[in-house]
């Protein structure tokens, strides 16, 4: 039967400078004293130290693990990232302001054109009576000399602003711009037709300032021809009798 192998004797020396029991500074001889001579006084401390060391190692391991880089860390490491973000933000603000200003300019121009058009239409509408007098004078042969020259300039200026006359004989009747004051029928027309203009109509752009007073003629089928009676020839002998 084999004898159990004798374990080697291990001597641990406590070299701590502070005595854990008294809190005093230890001398060199105390530091060289083996742990067995001091009893179990160091056992709790050793265990605590071991446990603390293990815990410290574990805790240290947790804190020592590197954190994943986040956006703030990237910004701190590279200032160009923050500068690029600020540049993108300022660029977006500038683009938005540019679009808003362009829309504002378009809206102002559109409103200005509407105001100008309304003003021209109002002034031109006040002169329609003058145009009627000029047209009647020309129809009666009174538009001659210097008066004709002034009238022609006035009519040309009004037409240049956008005034457009309508209502002519022979055009198709349109109830949206024509006002019928006379009505008749005739087989010479294919549909409702303006056959006489009693007062000229005018429009300014797409706005009708005044409808035209017209006479309208509708189509009427021509009457069917009446057959003439056929005379029979008379016998000569009957004529002699």
Give tens-digit pLDDT for 45-63.
444 443 444 444 444 444 4
Residue reference for tokens 């200032």:
79
Q: Collect all residues with Cβ–Cβ distance below 8 Å to 134 and sequence separation of at least 6.
A: 143, 151, 154, 155
| pTM across the whole model | 0.50
- Between 86 and 66, the higher pLDDT residue: 86
Give pLDDT, residue 151.
Answer: 92
DSSP per-residue string spanning 81-127? HHHHHHHHHHHHHHHHHHHHHHHHHHHHHHHHHHHHHHHHHHHHHHT
Q: 201: closest CA among 228, 222, 173?
A: 173
The tens digit of pLDDT for each residue in 201-217 reads 999 988 899 999 999 99
The pLDDT-based confidence of 92 (bands split at 50, 70, 90) is: very high
CATH label, 163-222, candidates 1.10.569.10, 2.30.22.10, 3.40.50.720, 3.40.50.920: 2.30.22.10
Mean pLDDT across 19-29: 70
**Of the ranges 5-9, 96-100, 138-142, 171-175, which is most confident?**
96-100
Q: 208: closest CA among 180, 181, 179, 176?
A: 176
Give pLDDT, residue 47.
Answer: 44
Give the domain ranges of the chain: 14-54, 75-121, 127-161, 163-222
């Amino acid at each position: 039967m084999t004898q159990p192998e004798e374990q080697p004797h291990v001597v641990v020396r406590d070299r701590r400078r502070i005595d854990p029991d008294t809190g005093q500074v230890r001398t060199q001889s105390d530091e060289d004293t083996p742990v067995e001579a001091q009893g179990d006084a160091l056992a709790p401390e050793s265990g605590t130290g071991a446990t603390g060391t293990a815990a410290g190692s574990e805790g240290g391991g947790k804190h020592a693990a590197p954190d994943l880089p986040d956006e703030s860390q990237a910004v701190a490491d590279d200032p160009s990232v923050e500068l690029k973000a600020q540049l993108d933000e300022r660029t977006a603000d500038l683009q938005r302001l540019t679009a808003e200003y362009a829309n504002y300019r378009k809206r102002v121009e559109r409103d200005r054109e509407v105001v100008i058009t309304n003003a021209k239409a109002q002034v031109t509408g006040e002169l329609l009576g003058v145009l009627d007098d000029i047209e009647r004078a020309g129809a009666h042969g009174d538009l001659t000399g210097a008066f004709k020259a002034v009238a022609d300039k006035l009519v040309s200026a009004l037409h240049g602003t956008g005034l457009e006359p309508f209502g002519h004989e022979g055009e198709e009747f349109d109830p949206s711009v024509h006002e019928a004051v006379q009505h008749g029928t005739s087989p010479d027309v294919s549909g409702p037709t303006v056959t006489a203009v009693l007062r000229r109509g005018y429009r300014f752009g797409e706005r009708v300032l005044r409808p035209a007073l017209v006479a309208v003629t509708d189509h009427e089928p021509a009457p069917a021809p009446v057959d003439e009676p056929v005379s029979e020839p008379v016998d000569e002998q009957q004529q002699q009798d």
